């Protein structure tokens, strides 16, 4: 039996997510301070690729000029709004800076903000996913294994939550609990465990009748042992596919909430919050809106490809199994 070929979608999806994760983990180290305000009158709302000479002064403020030159003990800074002259003694540092994705109204570097914002977006998605998987797996195991009243209560609860348009529920919750990242994670995680629970329950119901589980019960294994040693390993494949699908949904949900002003609050920024901020300067400063939107799209496509690929691999595995 030859090993089944890894579906290309799985590789593409995983690679996309890995590149994004690496970029947001390492990028902020290279891209500079995302919160640094650079001379808003002169460096605010610069389009992508703009280049400025940034003169940092000893009092902590900055000047951004098209050019800056030194002449007899003074710096002459040519900037939007006229020339400024500062004594050399007041200047702390002078640097050439390129703003690859432009700047916002405060002169903040959008590339740096995009990378740090990605940390927030992806971290909230990943932690909420973990929470949803934990709760969903526990609920699914309990419902499938115990059956009876436990099953009925848990599954009706899941049905009930699935019937509420999720964004409405999120909006209600966001209005009640002032949205901190922790509250967002809790709210997102606790409103997306239902699919996982159904998936796990369905698998457990069939696994329960299999000989190896019956054998484990016959020799007196505890419920916990059966769940961890016998059931969970067999749930890995469907769980992986469900998880990849969820991840995309969660990143989207966070983006939508933050976009509506009900998610991550300033000064913290996520991709969704950046799109919302960009709305104030839309459509003139389009570069505040679309790069962050494109980042969300990339993450969601990566997750969707991964989910497709994992599903395909699982099916191939099934057919290849003896």
Partner 1 sequence: MPRFLLRRFAAAIVLVWLVATVTFALVSLAPGDAAAGLADPRVAPEVRERFRRDFGLDRPWPARYLTWLAGAARGDLGVSWVHHRPVAAVLADAVPATALLAGLGLLLEIAGGLALALVQLRRPHGRADRALTALSLVAYALPAFVVALLLQYLFAYRFRLLPPSHTLSPGGELLTGLPRLLDQLRHLVLPVAAIALTGAGAVARYLRGSLLDERGQLYVLAARARGCSERRALWAHALPNALLPLVTMVGLSLPFLISGSLVIEVIFAWPGMGQTMVAAALARDLPLLMGGTLLATLAVVAGNALADLAYALVDPRVRL
What is the full DSSP assignment across 150-198? HHHHHHHHHHHHHHS-HHHHHHHHHHHS---HHHHHHHHHHTS-HHHHH
- Shortest reach from residue 247's CB to partner 1, in Å: 12
Tokens of 250: 């969660």
User: What is the rounded distance in angstroms from the CA atom of residue 120 to the CA atom of residue 113?
Assistant: 11
Going by C-alpha positions, the residue among 170, 181, 230 that lies closest to residue 203 is 230
252 part of the interface to partner 1, by CB under 8 A: yes
The number of angstroms, rounded, from the C-alpha of 129 to the middle of its chain's C-alpha atoms is: 10
What is the full DSSP assignment across 79-117? ETTEEEEEEGGGEEEEEEEEETT-B-TT--BHHHHHHHH
- Shortest reach from residue 309's CB to partner 1, in Å: 12
- Shortest reach from residue 81's CB to partner 1, in Å: 27
Give the per-residue contact string, 135-174, with partner 1 (x = CB under 8 A; - = no). Answer: ---------------------x--xx-xxxxxxxx-xxxx
Tally Cβ neighbours within 10 Å of residue 217: 14
Strand order in the sheet with 74-79: 67-71, 74-79, 82-87
**Considering only residues 151, 286, 314, 315, which one is a binding residue for partner 1 as defined by CB under 8 A?**
286
Question: Mutual orientation of helices 232-259 and 271-279 as an angle, nearest 10°?
Answer: 20
**Considering only residues 177, 182, 223, 317, which one is a binding residue for partner 1 as defined by CB under 8 A?**
177
- Window 204-223: residues binding partner 1 (CB under 8 A): none
Nearer to partner 1, 145 or 287 (CB): 287
300 part of the interface to partner 1, by CB under 8 A: yes
- Shortest reach from residue 263's CB to partner 1, in Å: 11
Nearer to partner 1, 127 or 305 (CB): 305
305 part of the interface to partner 1, by CB under 8 A: yes
> Three-state SS for 261?
coil
186 part of the interface to partner 1, by CB under 8 A: no
Question: Footprint of partner 1 on this chain (CB under 8 A)?
Answer: 156, 159-160, 162-169, 171-177, 248, 252, 255-256, 259-262, 275, 282-283, 286, 289-290, 293-294, 296-297, 300-301, 303-305, 308
């Amino acid at each position: 039996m030859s090993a089944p070929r890894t579906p290309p979608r799985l590789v593409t999806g995983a690679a996309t997510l890995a590149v994004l994760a690496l970029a947001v983990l390492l990028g902020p180290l290279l891209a500079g301070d995302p919160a640094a305000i650079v001379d808003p009158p002169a460096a605010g709302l610069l389009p992508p690729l703009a280049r400025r000479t940034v003169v940092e002064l000893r009092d902590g403020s900055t000047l951004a000029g098209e050019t800056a030159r030194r002449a007899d003990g003074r710096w002459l800074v040519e900037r939007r709004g006229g020339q400024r002259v500062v004594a050399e003694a007041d200047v702390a540092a002078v640097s050439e800076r390129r703003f690859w994705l432009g700047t916002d109204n405060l002169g903040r570097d959008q590339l740096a903000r995009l990378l740090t914002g990605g940390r927030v977006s992806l971290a909230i998605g990943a932690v909420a996913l973990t929470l949803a998987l934990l709760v969903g797996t526990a609920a699914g195991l309990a419902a499938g294994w115990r059956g009876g009243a436990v099953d009925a209560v848990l599954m009706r609860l899941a049905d009930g939550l699935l019937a509420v348009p999720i964004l409405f529920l999120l909006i209600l919750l966001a209005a009640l609990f002032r949205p901190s990242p922790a509250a967002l994670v809790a709210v997102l995680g606790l409103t997306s465990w239902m699919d996982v629970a159904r998936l796990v329950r369905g698998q457990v119901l069939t696994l329960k009748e299999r000989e190896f589980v019956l054998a484990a019960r016959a020799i007196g294994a505890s419920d916990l042992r059966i769940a961890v040693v016998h059931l969970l390993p067999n749930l890995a494949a469907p769980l992986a596919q469900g998880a990849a699908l969820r991840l995309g949904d969660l990143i989207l949900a966070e983006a939508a909430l933050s976009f509506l002003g009900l998610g991550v609050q300033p000064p913290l920024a996520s991709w969704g919050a950046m799109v919302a901020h960009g709305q104030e300067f839309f459509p003139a400063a389009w570069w505040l809106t679309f790069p962050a939107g494109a980042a969300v799209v990339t993450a969601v496509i990566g997750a969707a490809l991964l989910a497709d690929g994992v599903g395909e691999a699982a099916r191939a595995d099934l057919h290849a199994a003896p």
